[in-house]
Structure 1
Amino acid sequence: MTAAHGPARRGGDEVIEVKPAHDFDGVATMLGPKKPESSVCWCLSWRLSSKENRELVGVARADRVRELCARDVAPGVLAYLDGEVVGWGGVAPRSELYPIENSRKIPHVDDLPVWSLWCMRVRPGFRKQGVTRALIDGAVDYARRSGAPVVESYPVDNRGERVDQTMAFVGTRAMFERAGFAKVADTDSVSGGVPRIVMRLALTP
């Protein structure tokens, strides 16, 4: 399946374009290590079982991401500003995300085949330019075009308090509310010591 590009938003005087993450080099720019042999998350920690995640090290992790980028269903979306990759959003069917699908802390609200938006990253130097909102909108658009009935997110309910930047990838309740999401459930999960919630946006064809 080939999905059309996500909605474009203004980033200053430039246009932010969001596309399905089939470009491995773009994903590597956002998620990869400086040294190829180093083991970093690559956002695989949210896809793999604990055992597989531990056993997949070094360049093998990059190889797995390269395989995901080559599939019809991309592993997420990338944001581009003036042709340069500036953001990543991990979005996929929840059923593909082993730790979330099997979590005892993040509940299943119902049996709908939801897509999950679980991670967002913006490159330093491009923050506070609308990239995060563009990633959310683009991820929602990609999920809709892929037939998802609902998109879920699991942000912190920080009530306006400052969020630790190392854990900011999950997003905040206010951020998703501005994008049209609504809280549907509490969780037993925390990020940076702050409770996380389940938020949803119902999609139409």
Structure 2
Amino acid sequence: MSSYTVKPLGPETWEAFAALAGRHNGVWNGCWCTWFHPACAERGQSTEGNRAIKERLVNEGRAHAALVFDGDLAVGWCEYGPPEELPNIYHRKEYDAGLDRLPDYRLTCFFVDRNYRRQGVAAIALRGALDLIAQAGGGLVEAYPQDTQGKRISASFLYNGTRTLFEQAGFTYTRPKGKNHTVMRKTVTAA
């Protein structure tokens, strides 16, 4: 296995992020990892429109992710941010009905280059996101992984990661959300 490094998504790493997304047709039908942002309320955006939205959010400091690098090549990411930055989540009505408090941060999306899947890149991205959150002051972190119940699922459907991945990172199961997803939490101490 290569020696991976993690860097925050920002103007300095935009080109590497854009190259990774571009190698995969903008990721998930051209989303460019914008669906969870409020700007994505502008439904019907083209792939180019989503790319422009994401680049604008990154340049404004309103889009965060832990980017995993193999040398100079970005090979995966874990998107994170406060609820105001990432308000769109699936099964929102059910989520809100069981909400006791909003988290300080949400982990909403993973993506791993097809040539690097099933090599631990998602776990590295998750650890990287938690480290970046700790550097930013820490707090209650929430994620919405899929509970695969031990079944093998195509990695292309695991945009939220798996319950097992989060359990291994010290997250606690809070409740179900939707048919196969969960709400999991962890408190991250400030670095």
Coarse TM-score class (shorter-chain normalised): 0.7 to 0.9
Which letter does structure 1 place at the counterpart of 2:76?
G
CA distance in 2, matches of 1:125, 1:156: 22
RMSD: 2.5
Aligned length: 185
Deviations 1:73-132 (A, max 9, x none): 542121001222111111111222232299213346433442111111111222232211
Q: State whether structure 2 residue 5 is matched by structure 1 residue 17.
A: yes
Alpha-carbon offset, residue 142 of structure 1: 1.1
Alpha-carbon offset, residue 152 of structure 1: 1.0
Matched ranges for 1:4-153 at <5 A: 12=1, 14-22=2-10, 23-32=13-22, 40-48=30-38, 51-54=41-44, 56-72=45-61, 74-100=63-89, 103-107=92-96, 109-153=99-143
Q: Which runs of 5+ in 1 are unaligned?
A: 1-11
TM-score normalised by length of structure 2: 0.84
Q: Which runs of 5+ in 2 are unaligned?
A: none
Check conservation: 1:20, 1:74, Cα contact below 8 A. no
Check conservation: 2:54, 2:63, Cα contact below 8 A. no
Percentage of pairs with the same residue: 28
TM-score normalised by length of structure 1: 0.79
Alpha-carbon offset, residue 175 of structure 1: 0.9
Q: 1:164 to 1:145 in 2, by over 3 A?
A: same
Q: 1:21 to 1:147 in 2, by over 3 A?
A: same
Q: What does residue 161 of structure 2 align with?
A: 171
Q: Secondary structure at the match of 2:151?
A: coil
Which letter does structure 2 place at the counterpart of 1:19?
K
